[in-house]
Amino acid sequence: MRILVMNPNTTASMTASIRATATAVAAPGTEILATEPLWGPESIEGHFEGYLSAAAVLDRLTTLDAPFDALVMAGFGEPGREGAQELLDVPVLDITESAAQMAMMLGHSYGVVTTLDRAVPQISDRLLTAGLLQRCAGIRGTGLGVLELEEDARRTERIIVETARELVRAGAEVICLGCGGMAGLQEKVAAELGVPVVDGVAAAVKFAEAVVGLGLTTSTVRSFAAPRPKRIGGWPISGQASQQASELSVSAVPSARNADFSPETSGI
Amino acid sequence: MRILVMNPNTTASMTASIRATATAVAAPGTEILATEPLWGPESIEGHFEGYLSAAAVLDRLTTLDAPFDALVMAGFGEPGREGAQELLDVPVLDITESAAQMAMMLGHSYGVVTTLDRAVPQISDRLLTAGLLQRCAGIRGTGLGVLELEEDARRTERIIVETARELVRAGAEVICLGCGGMAGLQEKVAAELGVPVVDGVAAAVKFAEAVVGLGLTTSTVRSFAAPRPKRIGGWPISGQASQQASELSVSAVPSARNADFSPETSGI
Amino acid sequence: MRILVMNPNTTASMTASIRATATAVAAPGTEILATEPLWGPESIEGHFEGYLSAAAVLDRLTTLDAPFDALVMAGFGEPGREGAQELLDVPVLDITESAAQMAMMLGHSYGVVTTLDRAVPQISDRLLTAGLLQRCAGIRGTGLGVLELEEDARRTERIIVETARELVRAGAEVICLGCGGMAGLQEKVAAELGVPVVDGVAAAVKFAEAVVGLGLTTSTVRSFAAPRPKRIGGWPISGQASQQASELSVSAVPSARNADFSPETSGI
Amino acid sequence: MRILVMNPNTTASMTASIRATATAVAAPGTEILATEPLWGPESIEGHFEGYLSAAAVLDRLTTLDAPFDALVMAGFGEPGREGAQELLDVPVLDITESAAQMAMMLGHSYGVVTTLDRAVPQISDRLLTAGLLQRCAGIRGTGLGVLELEEDARRTERIIVETARELVRAGAEVICLGCGGMAGLQEKVAAELGVPVVDGVAAAVKFAEAVVGLGLTTSTVRSFAAPRPKRIGGWPISGQASQQASELSVSAVPSARNADFSPETSGI
Amino acid sequence: MRILVMNPNTTASMTASIRATATAVAAPGTEILATEPLWGPESIEGHFEGYLSAAAVLDRLTTLDAPFDALVMAGFGEPGREGAQELLDVPVLDITESAAQMAMMLGHSYGVVTTLDRAVPQISDRLLTAGLLQRCAGIRGTGLGVLELEEDARRTERIIVETARELVRAGAEVICLGCGGMAGLQEKVAAELGVPVVDGVAAAVKFAEAVVGLGLTTSTVRSFAAPRPKRIGGWPISGQASQQASELSVSAVPSARNADFSPETSGI
Amino acid sequence: MRILVMNPNTTASMTASIRATATAVAAPGTEILATEPLWGPESIEGHFEGYLSAAAVLDRLTTLDAPFDALVMAGFGEPGREGAQELLDVPVLDITESAAQMAMMLGHSYGVVTTLDRAVPQISDRLLTAGLLQRCAGIRGTGLGVLELEEDARRTERIIVETARELVRAGAEVICLGCGGMAGLQEKVAAELGVPVVDGVAAAVKFAEAVVGLGLTTSTVRSFAAPRPKRIGGWPISGQASQQASELSVSAVPSARNADFSPETSGI
């Protein structure tokens, strides 16, 4: 099976890191594709960038010329998943929800360590909407921006451990790493804390394997029915898409649903 | 004061209708501007289109060359408001929340009549996230698509009344019209039902006047702090924006916050 | 339009202060009346006094000989609003709910600074019942009683700022001043804190203008139907009411609903 | 021990009926006093009347010249309990909460049969505030007003049974009779339905015995601290109270707390 | 009336202590029986032991040869109550819920002091399921295991007071002693804290008297219908039960429902 | 990896059916063991039987002489999981939670079709405690007992489809089969309904593979810390366990945690 992991921002080094995490946990027989949007913010630290990214991700999915069996959206607390669920006929896993769901399999309550404090209400709202907030013991920022995470690996790890420890004191029995850019740190943090640490990318890849393994996919009866045929001006943004995806070897037909889009190559 | 009302889709006749509603309720001294995005779906009936629209609206706001004192977002149940709140230093009102808030001033519980059944969970989630769902007695679709609302005005009115009546039976004491395209029907529906009927556009315009009247605007301490300076590829989408906004006479500097965007005129 | 602002206690200097706040924010064309009950507690700091005040306010409304277009009830966290909604056919705004609703238009979460710690659960319960508690990040008392607020303005301001700062640290992005007697301090507090500060009286006046501006009023289908005709012994308490209201120039018929009360001028 | 049961309205025949129910369930050694306010509505069917009654009940308690060990407030869904809790140093039980609490001891979910449909949101709000709504499967009106309950006992019983049966179908495992005026019907209704039926007056009397039996009373540390000494104009309403309580043989000092009220014998 | 108080663990000295508490608060005419299971853990400090105890308690109830009118289950936060409700046709009170319910009669919010920190989520879950968590201001462990409570009475009391004081600071107006083994300390703790302190065993005994006094018992229509007749291998565990109950003088037929169990005297 | 699937009742044919479902969905390299308790009820349809089963399952786990990497508990809505989480150092998945979690990956809301109506509140409580109830659109019984499910396969399928269809009408976008005995029907039901149908056993097996695949297991810091060393009379019930497990070829050391149990071979 082939799982497409979508880094929501345009920083190719983050795509590489996320791909590495996904590949490391994939089961034998699972192939990982990873890519990022062709336009949009280099990192996502707020609603404005999140909404740009959501459209850029949907644009990437619309124009992508490669078959896959499941999509993993690798932005923590970011919008867009429901749009991808409408667009695709393969299952869509989001790392925010996947991290929380796996944490709930491992302990009574979980905590989330994220980047900036401003992301806390945003993540809280996503978990609330997803119906997964009840068991959340807290969400805390480290004060480190997304791209700062990679600047000094030792400092990053130390701050994450300190922040996570406060959450454990507040009742968290499992810690979720609340940023795709923290992928790879879970083992070190777990070793220091003595509690299970869940990385959302890893969790989502395994859940994608689980869902695909059962032959299941998104329900189309209501919320996530395919988009109705209609005129969408200027869409897709990236047009005939001569842009190069980050290391994505593409070959076949897209799995986008058979909606009758009428993309206009607007002058935009 | 000047209130910008943003129709989230690209159908100019809907912009006109929304402008008419807004203008009809504006206080003396309030000027209504209304426009729509330069690209995106002609109507919004789902998450995919909602996310495209959110980015298209933010794109329109980024390139708009006109000052205004408050923004009203006229898509019912649609995403994007938090992004505009980060981007602008004037208050942002959304018709979903405004309708619910005004309804809660008028009765114990409210109901929402919307277009298609598929919008029901989406609206429910927006109200949940906004902290306004507790007093909601129900949300029901009429089975009419956004653009079908205008096809047969008499039929539309009759179906809205029938649907609203079921909500009243279920405990709703006030009815919210759950689509920007229903603006203008509130009085007829109220007359038939005998309960107050709230149109979100009208409510949001009055609330915008209220907030601006008190000299208040969005808090910037956490959730809605201005976007951090960073590289955003291909943004804004509509570039130097020679496109014409729908009847918008523009004159002055935009009220966008002083973030140091580095728009790249990508080849897109 | 004419808005009646009701100070729930009998301290005329508080009525004056509340009137000043209301007048300062009223739109051109809005006339502010302000008064207080003819009997009852000089300040309200608990349930017992709150319930006395609720009846005294309803008594005042029953005997008031002046037309008005909306009522603002200026007691924070105090009971009685639903009774006024049944009694009157004009809209009724309460400063507790109005403050919270305006705060929710400005930020993700809000906090409330109030007088005594004993008021905290009472305010919390009002917000819970109103369906507005979900976005509340905290309610904190300053330790100052209602009438102590005016004793040393500088101290009051300082303590309010300190208390509000703790709420901001706890996640509040907007602060509500949780006592009618704090009206007038919002600008100073906002300047020191750097977050929007909402005064409930100001918010309620603007919302009253908004509701009246749309020609809407309280729903009568269920919770707030007019009282049924019945015998009410000893009511109204203040009888033929030769008492003088605080600076209220009265002229016309009351807007009380046409219920067939049979007030008995009991020997009480 | 002596339990005072307070009928919230001025209809002496209801006081008699409530006294009969209370007496029938009282343990050996428990003495039941029952009375009603000296002024206020003859029945309570809404918020306006409820708030008048709350003050009238507090007035009655302030002037009552008889010792008692616990108070039972016999209005279903009506306000005022918290005021009595501040005023008295003996425990205060309310029939709304007591009915719900006893029902929760007997089954997983309970339903409430009440009088008019307009009372439903009011009862729901009381149970919500009391923290007892979660297990409520529904609240339904019979369409019978409070004083109509006694008009045709057979019809009343039949309609209560029908309404209760709908609640059982909706998941209620226990039925609460949601009006003090339904006291005495519980056995017949239970026999027809096959589920336990709880009368709030009976439940509250037994709970009062339980609380007094343990030597416990209302906490005074926060919400229900005694009223602060202050000027209360025109209070108590019923002044020196030469009025006759309904069959109450009084003898001793009131159990009201030692607050330093300054009642003014106003000209009211 | 006869109330059976079931100590969930096999430590007879705890049964004696619980019996003493129950007897001390029983009304004249109430007879207290107390016993413990014939097998299972000597103390319960977690889910594993809780589930063993639940079965051991049900085993004890199945084989018990003594009539009683109500059962009090004396394990705080422990499972099993719903099983006993199905098995018996007399009412079943649990000390967790009884403590919370009595606390809610005495104050706005309550706190729970328990033994080990690991019990906190377990108690929280029981209160959540019971629909009684909303008014809970906190649950805190003392760090003392169940059997350590009796080691140094003075230290135990001091630590309970300290822990309770933190809960009062956090908003609790009433304290519940969250372990059957704390029975007897309520008066001392209350004296030091100045807030009401509720012991669950005492509360449950009084509530059992209340329920039995009204002739009520568990609803059988849904959740707690009698077990269906079926084959249960190896049940009851304690077989012909020659084991001696702790000081229980038994005489008559059990009150277990007439289910057609087919106990197999397995070779176990 | 080896996954132990525990049928909670003693009916070996159900074990076989559950094993078949689990084996059918297991990934290459996953070995499925399946067994049932050595004593307890032949089917579980209520709390009494559920609690017996919980102890019987823990007894089976304590005495089981076979290594495994994860446990799947195959009783829908039944207690015991937390006990197994304390006892074992491998992850424990429950089919109730797993079904709900997988459903939430596939649609906005889910519904549960179960056996008897009496199971509905029990399942609801489990989902509430698990923090997974918010997205549940309904739980409905088919009226078929556990063992009746296999009597007439066609009838069973038809009734499940009808019941599920009502849930879809009520808003469910995904259906969960709420009984281990329904395993194997998901494809037929899905084909008829047009919505995804989740079988809990299948979901739990895939989630067990996911958790084990990431090297994660239950957190031991609080709720699910290993049982403390203590005396447990009569435990394990099944003693030296000469009983034969259902087709379980056992070989190695148990994975039970190193708690210092002191099982007494009581005379029971």
Pull the structure tokens for residue E160.
């309970």
The confidence band for D255, taking pLDDT boundaries of 50, 70 and 90, is very low
Q: What percent of chain F has pLDDT over 70?
A: 89
Q: Which two tokens stand for residue E226?
A: 């009698």
Cβ of residue D121 closer than 8 Å to a chain B Cβ: yes
Task: Count other C-beta atoms under 10 Å from residue E190's C-beta.
Answer: 19
Q: Which residue of C has its CA nearest to B174?
A: C219
Residue B165 pLDDT:
98
pTM (predicted TM-score): 0.92
pLDDT tens across A103-120, in order?
Answer: 999 999 999 999 999 999
For the cut 60, the answer to whether the pLDDT of residue B264 exceeds it is no
Asked if B261 and B228 touch (Cβ cutoff 8 Å), the reply is: no
Contact at 8 Å (CB) between E99 and E177? yes
Q: What is the DSSP string of C101-168?
A: HHHHHH-S-EEEEESSTTHHHHHHHHHHHTT--TTEEEEEE-S--TGGGGT-HHHHHHHHHHHHHHHH
Indicate yes or no: CB of B106 within 8 angstroms of CB of C216.
yes
Note the pLDDT of residue F124: 98
Q: Which two tokens stand for residue B119?
A: 């919008």
Q: Which two tokens stand for residue A225?
A: 């029915």
3-state secondary structure chain D: CEEEEECCCCCHHHHHHHHHHHHHHCCCCCEEEEECCCCEECCCCCHHHHHHHHHHHHHHHHHCCCCCCEEEECCCCCCCHHHHHHHECCCEEEHHHHHHHHHHHHCCCEEEEECCCCHHHHHHHHHHHCCCCCCEEEEEECCCCCHHHHCCHHHHHHHHHHHHHHHHHCCCCEEEECCHHHCCCHHHHHHHHCCCEEEHHHHHHHHHHHHHHCCCCCCCCCCCCCCCCCCEECCCCCCCCCCCCCCCCCCCCCCECCCCCCCCCCCC
Using DSSP's 3-state secondary structure scheme, residue A98 falls into: helix
Higher per-residue pLDDT: E228 or E264: E228
What average pLDDT score do residues A77-101 get?
97
Tell whether the model's pLDDT for residue F157 goes beyond 50: yes
Alpha carbons F125 and D54: distance in angstroms, whole number = 37
pLDDT tens digits, one per residue of E70-117 = 999 999 999 999 999 999 999 999 999 999 999 999 999 999 999 999
Q: Does C45 touch chain D (CB under 8 A)?
A: yes
Rounded CA-CA distance C76/A188 in Å is 51
Q: Are strands A92-94 and C262-263 parallel, antiparallel or unpaired?
A: unpaired
Residue with tokens 């491998």: F90
- Distances in Å between the alpha carbon of A185 and those of A5, A43, A103, A180? 18, 19, 16, 11
- The Cα–Cα gap between E130 and E82 comes to 11
Mean pLDDT of F91-119: 97
Structure tokens at F93: 């998945």
Band (D249; pLDDT cuts 50, 70, 90):
very low
Environment class of F154 (CB within 10 Å of its CB; exposed 0-12, middle 13-18, buried 19+) = exposed
DSSP state of C231: E
Cross-chain residue pair B49–A237, CB shorter than 8 Å: no
- What is the per-residue pLDDT for A180? 78
pLDDT the model gives residue A170: 97
> How close C170 gets to chain E, by Cα (Å)?
14
Q: What is residue F83's DSSP assignment?
A: H
CA distances from F117 to D241, F46, F124, F146 (A): 58, 10, 12, 12
What b/e readout covers F213-225, taking b as 16+ CB neighbours within 10 angstroms?
A: bbebbbbbbbbbb
C contact test, residue of B73, B92, B98, B108 with most C CBs within 10 A: B108
Scan residues 8-37 of E and list those with Cβ closer than 8 Å to F.
Answer: 10
How far is D115 from chain E, CA to nearest CA, in Å? 24
What is the Cα A65 distance to its own chain's centre? 20
pLDDT of residue D67: 95
- Choose among D51, D37, D38: nearest CA to D82: D51
Quick one: pLDDT at residue B50? Answer: 98
Give me the percent of chain D exceeding a pLDDT of 90. 82
Work out the mean pLDDT of chain D and round it to a whole number: 90
Domains of chain A, each with CATH number or no CATH: 96-199 (3.40.50.12500)
Q: Please state at what angle helix D12-25 crosses helix D200-213, rounded to 10 degrees.
A: 50
B/e letters for E69-96, b = 16+ CB within 10 Å, e = fewer, are bbbbbbbbbbbbbbbbbbbbebbbbbbb
CA–CA–CA angle A115, A118, A120 (5° rounding): 75
Least confident interval from B248-257, C190-199, E26-35: B248-257
Q: Token pair 């992301």 is at which residue?
A: A119
Chain A: residue nearest B10 by CA? A233
- The Cα of B128 is separated from the nearest Cα of chain A by a number of Å equal to 7
Whether the Cβ atoms of residue C178 and residue C146 lie closer than 8 Å to each other: no
The first and second tokens of residue C156, run together, are 């009051």
Count, residues in chain E: 268
D108 close to F (CB below 8 A): yes
Do residues E60 and E53 lie in contact, with contact meaning Cβ atoms separated by under 8 Å? no
D108 contacts on E by Cβ (under 8 Å): 219, 222-224
Q: Which two tokens stand for residue A30?
A: 């699972």
CB hemisphere CA count around D240 (13 angstroms)? 1
- Spatial neighbors of A268 by CB under 8 A, at least 6 apart, are A234, A237, B38, B39, B237, B238, B239, B243
**Maximum separation of any 2 CA atoms in chain F, in Å:** 57
Cβ contact, residue pair B108, C135, below 8 Å: no
**Is A8 in contact with A80 (CB distance < 8 Å)?**
yes
In B61-100, the residues whose Cβ lies within 8 Å of chain A are 79-80, 82-87
Kind and range of the H or E element at E15? helix E12-25
- Give CA–CA dist D58/D79, Å, rounded: 11
CB neighbour list of residue F131: distance below 8 Å, 6 or more residues apart: A104, A132, A134, A135
Bridge partners of residue A71, in order along the sequence: A4, A92
Question: Please, are residues A42 and A11 in contact by the beta-carbon 8 Å criterion?
Answer: yes
CA nearest F106 in A: which residue? A218
Does residue B260 or residue A100 have the better pLDDT? A100
Nearest-CA distance from B159 to chain C in Å?
A: 21
DSSP output for E188-203:
HHHHHHSS-EEEHHHH
CB D23 within 8 A of CB D17: no
Subunits in contact with chain B (3 or more CB pairs closer than 8 Å): A, C, D, F
Q: What percent of chain E has pLDDT over 90?
A: 82
**Rounded Cα–Cα distance for residues C98 and C72 (Å):** 10
- Looking at residue F149, its pLDDT comes to 87
Predicted confidence at residue B153, as pLDDT, reads: 87
CA C115/CA C139 separation, integer angstroms: 10
Q: Identify the H or E element spanning F12.
A: helix F12-25
- Chain A residue numbers with beta carbons less than 8 Å from the beta carbon of B49 are 227, 230, 232
E114 phi, psi to nearest 5 deg = -125, -170
Query: What would the mean pLDDT of A10-24 be, rounded to a whole number?
Result: 95
**How far is it, in rounded angstroms, from Cα C18 to Cα A51?**
43
Q: Which 3-state string (H, E, C) describes F40-75?
A: EECCCCCHHHHHHHHHHHHHHHHHCCCCCCEEEECC
> Who's near D120: CB < 8 A, 6+ residues apart?
B171, C222, D114, D139, D140, D141
Q: Do F170 and F113 form a contact (C-beta atoms < 8 A)?
A: no
Contact F121 E222 (CB under 8 A): yes
Concatenated DSSP letters of B173-224: SEEEE-SGGGTT-HHHHHHHHSS-EEEHHHHHHHHHHHHHHTT-----SSTT
Q: Which of C83, C6, C4, C90 is nearest to C40 (CA)?
A: C6
Closest B-chain CA to C224: B107
| ipTM (interface pTM) | 0.91
Phi-psi region at D234: left, alpha or beta (left = phi > 0; alpha = psi -120 to 50): left
Q: Flag whether pLDDT at B268 surpasses 70.
A: no
Residue D252 has pLDDT above 70, yes or no: no
Assign C199 to helix, strand or coil: strand
Here the tokens at position E178 are 């969250």
Residues in chain F: 268
**CB neighbour list of residue C87: distance below 8 Å, 6 or more residues apart:** C58, C61, C62, C226, C227, C256, C257, C259, D48
CA angle (A97 as vertex; A95, A98 as ends), nearest 5: 60
The candidate with the shortest Cα–Cα distance to A173, out of A105, A104, A98, A110, is A110
Residue A132 has, within 13 A of its CA and on its CB side, a CA count of 30
- Those chains having 3 or more beta-carbon pairs within 8 angstroms of chain A are B, C, E, F
CA distance B34 to B17: 10
Contact list, D107 vs chain F (CB under 8 Å): none
